[in-house]
Structure 1
Amino acid sequence: MAGMRIVVCLPGSAAGRVDEAIAEAMAPFEREKGLGAEFDIWDHYRICGGASGNGFAVQAGFEADPRLVHDRPRYDGTSEPSLPGMCAGGPRGLLDLSANHAESVALAGRAWDLWADLSGRHPAPQPYEPFLERSKAEMGVPPFALFHEEGEPDPWTPAFERYQAQPLIRAYLSALDELRSAARTHRYGSGFLDIWDPLRDVGGLSREDFIRGRSRSDGANFPHVLTLDGWWYGDGEEGIHRACGGRAVCPHVPDIASGSQQDVQRHLDGVPDDALLVYLSLHI
């Protein structure tokens, strides 16, 4: 079993009965209780995201709006308030889906600036490759070897450790860890500011190129969506329509071109302002 995140879209008329409307929309996809086969996806879920920072940023001026949706209690009954400016959902017009892009640009800029600042205070490091060559030579591993089998010498781990032990690399990775933790960078998708070779991945790029490569140009990080018309999309896969018995027998035209995160984002950008977007964490 694993976890999944999804944004469920509801019509504005569901504003007074969000929990019930979510249950109705999700029911066809419940494992062993829904439509079966392709629809066996989840076994329990919770409305959440405001407290973790994974949910939605709120448009400025609407932070206290009663129409916003906040995290439901955990399974043990405990609850957490949303972070300032965050929520688990609400009317599309109250949510700032562009916030992740603006914030990720700012954070990527800070990450590059950290390298520039620390580079002026520490000796220039050696690149990773000489450390790997040295480790291979010490262990008798052929220079052209790309990986090792179980039980064979592993030159990559010690080379990696030696490379990262250099003063500038060590100082940068430590400062980057603090930045990632303080900024809850998991909101911007897997791999955001995950850097193992700073000399190449930061020092080898201009500030503009680094920001362009690291920031989220597609807005929020919502990889799955259940649309107003009942289509479930995600992970780049073809949608599943809850009104039909499966992809092979569905006669309807999908309402999203594909399940890519970019298409999901474009779809969320275009839903009516009164439609509700609600963030769920699923156990699948």
Structure 2
Amino acid sequence: MAGMRIVVCLPGSAAGRVDAAVADAMAPFEREKGLGGEFDIWDHYRMCGGAEGSGFAVLAGSESDPRLLHDRPRYDGTSEPSLPGMCAGGPRGLLDFSATCAESVVLAGRAWDLWAELSGRHPAPESLESFVERSKAEMGVPPFLQFRMDGCPDPWTPAYERYRAQPLVRTYLSALDELKSAARSHRYGTHFLDCADPLRTVGGHSREDFIRYHSRIDGMGFENVLTLEGWWYEYGEEGLHSACGGRAACPHTPDITPGPLSAGQRYLEGVPDDALLVYLRLHV
């Protein structure tokens, strides 16, 4: 058993009953309760993606639209709000699919150039590791300890605060935040250009390697999709149609055919603006 993520597509008429409509669309594929055989896929799911940043970016100006969907509570009843500019789904017309590979390359290049430019204006910083070592010594924490343990002091938080206070690191992280905010870089996921330790993650790489690591193949790349017509599509596999008894018995042409990595995302970009897209995390 493992986890996977999928985007469920619903007609605009499902607005107002989204949870029930998702349950109906997912039912044929439920393990031991659905159509059986090839359709035994999942046994638990939850609408999510807004709080962790893996869901959908919201079109600029639509952040307060009540039609947007947000994370449902966890099994223990706890929940978190969506990150700014993110959601777990909503009408296609409110979601921003403008993230592209070409743009991510440009943004990554600008992030690396920014470090190179500022490095010429400020003293070279000490490494984060050196601050951690000193913090451990000050607190009496064994040098071999690599993570926080209950009952032990935390040397990492003050070490990182001191590391960030260095002129080059402080100035770079502030400028990087401005760059990412202006570009709405959260469209690529919250880990895009995540450079909390820039001396290592930016200054420690060539420009080409940095860009290669941070550029996105094709936008966000939502590749697992349950289509409007009930086709369950996982990247690299033939579609499975809920209207039929299995792949061998299905006479229909699939909505998505196996092919390029971007096939699933292209389908999502092409659905009607009122179609609802819902991001789910499954246990399969």
CA distance in 2, matches of 1:269, 1:77: 33
CA gap 1:22/1:260 in 2 versus in 1, 3 angstroms: farther
Q: Tell me what 1:75 maps to.
A: 75
Does residue 1:37 correspond to 2:37, yes or no?
A: yes
Q: Tell me what 2:14 maps to.
A: 14
CA gap 1:40/1:58 in 2 versus in 1, 3 angstroms: same
The 3-state SS of whatever aligns with 1:247 is coil
CA distance in 1, matches of 2:261, 2:226: 13
CA distance in 2, matches of 1:37, 1:218: 33
How many residue pairs end up in the alignment? 226
**1:39 Cα offset (Å):** 1.2
**1:99 Cα offset (Å):** 3.6
Q: Tell me what 1:85 maps to.
A: 85
Describe how 1:203-282 pairs up with structure 2 within 5 A.
203=206, 205=208, 211=211, 214-258=214-258, 260-282=260-282
Amino acid in structure 1 at the alignment position of 2:43 = D
Q: Deviations over 1:208-238 (max 9, x none)?
A: x964774225222312000001111122111
The 3-state SS of whatever aligns with 2:238 is strand
Amino acid in structure 2 at the alignment position of 1:262 = S
Q: TM-score, normalised by structure 2?
A: 0.67
CA distance in 2, matches of 1:117, 1:2: 45
Describe how 1:66-145 pairs up with structure 2 within 5 A.
66-99=66-99, 104-105=104-105, 108-109=108-109, 112-113=112-113, 116=116
Amino acid in structure 1 at the alignment position of 2:277 = L
**1:40 Cα offset (Å):** 1.3
List runs of 5+ in structure 1 lacking aligned partners.
123-171
**1:47 Cα offset (Å):** 0.5
Q: Deviations over 1:135-157 (max 9, x none)?
A: xxxxxxxxxxxxxxxxxxxxxxx
List runs of 5+ in structure 2 lacking aligned partners.
125-168, 195-199
- Identical positions, percent: 75
CA gap 1:67/1:192 in 2 versus in 1, 3 angstroms: closer
Amino acid in structure 2 at the alignment position of 1:88 = A
Q: Tell me what 2:163 maps to.
A: none
* Contact 1:92–1:271 under 8 Å retained in 2: yes
**1:263 Cα offset (Å):** 0.5
Q: Which of 223-232 and 213-222 deviates more? A: 213-222
Amino acid in structure 2 at the alignment position of 1:14 = A
